[in-house]
Amino acid sequence: MGALSWPYWIVKRDSVEQVDGGVIAESTLSIYVNGQSLATVLCSPFDQEALALGLLFNEGIIRSYADVGLIKSNEHRTVVDVWLHTPDFEPPQRVIITTGCSGGITLQELTVSYPPLETDFRTSTDVVFNRMHDLQTAAELYHQVRGVHTALLADRDQPLISAEDVGRHNAVDKLMGKALQQGISTHDRMILTSGRISSEMVSKAWRMYIPLVISRTAPTSKALELADAWQMTIVGYVRQGSMRIYTHPERLIP
C-alpha radius of gyration, the chain, whole number: 19
Segment 41-66, tens digit of pLDDT: 999 999 999 999 999 999 889 999 99
Q: Active site includes 101? A: yes
Output the average pLDDT for the chain: 90
Residue 104, pLDDT > 80, answer no
**CA of 99: how far to CAs of 59, 163, 191, 218, in Å?**
14, 18, 18, 16
- What pLDDT does 112 receive? 58
Give the pLDDT of residue 228: 95
pLDDT-derived band at 110, boundaries 50, 70, 90: low
Range 199-226 average pLDDT: 95
Query: If you average pLDDT over residues 204-218, what whole number do you get?
Result: 96
pLDDT of 166: 93
Instruction: Give the whole-angstrom CA distance, residue 155 versus residue 190.
Output: 6
Q: Choosing from 101, 109, 140, 249, which is the catalytic residue?
A: 101
Query: CA-to-CA distance for 249 and 234, rounded, in angstroms?
Result: 8
pLDDT digits (tens, 9 = 90+) for 147-171: 899 999 999 999 999 999 999 999 9
Q: Among residues 218, 212, 220, which one has the least CA distance to residue 239?
A: 218
Residue 146 has what pLDDT? 87
pLDDT value at residue 100:
38
> Of 66-75, 94-103, 169-178, which range is least confident?
94-103
Residue 97 has pLDDT above 70, yes or no: no
Of the chain, the percentage scoring pLDDT greater than 90 comes to 76
Note the pLDDT of residue 94.
53
Decide: helix, strand or coil at residue 10.
strand
Q: What pLDDT score was predicted for residue 109?
A: 55
Q: What percent of the chain has pLDDT over 70?
A: 92
Strands 190-193, 212-215: pairing is parallel
- Distance between alpha carbon 31 and the CA centroid of its chain, in Å? 17
Please check the confidence at residue 125 and state whether its pLDDT lies above 80. yes
177-198 tens-digit pLDDT: 999 999 999 999 999 999 999 9
Confidence of residue 176 (pLDDT cuts 50, 70, 90): very high
Task: Please write the tens of the pLDDT for every residue from 6-42.
Answer: 898 999 999 999 999 899 899 999 999 999 999 999 9
